[in-house]
Amino acid sequence: MEKKPKTAVPTPVSVRPDMMRLVDEIGPEGILLGTHCKSCGAKTAGKNRHCRNCTSSEVETIELSSGGILINYTIVHRAAPTWTGQVPYILGEVELPEHVVVTSEVVDVRPDEIEEGMQVKLSFRVGGHTKSGDPIVVYKWTPA
Ligand SMILES: [Zn+2]
């Protein structure tokens, strides 16, 4: 990676460019990406070269909705060593209107308040920094 001069303005980067692109280089706002298969019509999370349903390469990248319904969740008490956030935390599976399921942390809700079927929306946060000091933008779910 190229070293930046110390006076450079920090440039936010997406935690997973295959899953989320940033709206611009100023603030932590992003759009979830998906794949639409022109052969079978399936829509899946993330940018893929092939359809996960039928393996066709006739696919296009689409932008997914910014909210959906919490269909499943778990409260994680023992996090992976790479986890840098708080423990316990809530990991939720959210179904978007495109029938794509996206898993991420659910924030701004207490474990005793959360329930399946609740409406949630995307929330973008700075989850860390690169070695050159640029903020890493992560996507989470928050009650809508
Ligand atoms: Zn397909």
Q: What is the pLDDT along the chain (144 residues), one digit of tens a residue?
A: 555 555 567 889 999 999 999 988 777 889 999 999 999 999 999 999 999 999 999 999 999 999 999 999 999 999 988 888 889 999 999 999 999 999 999 999 998 899 999 999 999 999 889 999 999 999 999 999
H or E stretch at 94: strand 89-95
88 preceded by a cis bond (ω within 30 of 0) = yes
How far does the centroid of ligand 1 lie from the alpha carbon of residue 54, in Å?
Answer: 4
Match 């990991």 to its residue by tokens.
91
How far does the centroid of ligand 1 lie from the alpha carbon of residue 58, in Å?
Answer: 8
Specify the pLDDT at position 68. Answer: 98
3-state helix, strand, coil in the chain (%, to 5): 0, 45, 55
Contact between 127 and 85 (Cβ < 8 Å): yes
How far does the centroid of ligand 1 lie from the alpha carbon of residue 47, in Å?
Answer: 13
Q: How far apart (Å, rounded) are the C-alpha atoms in residues 11 and 126? A: 12
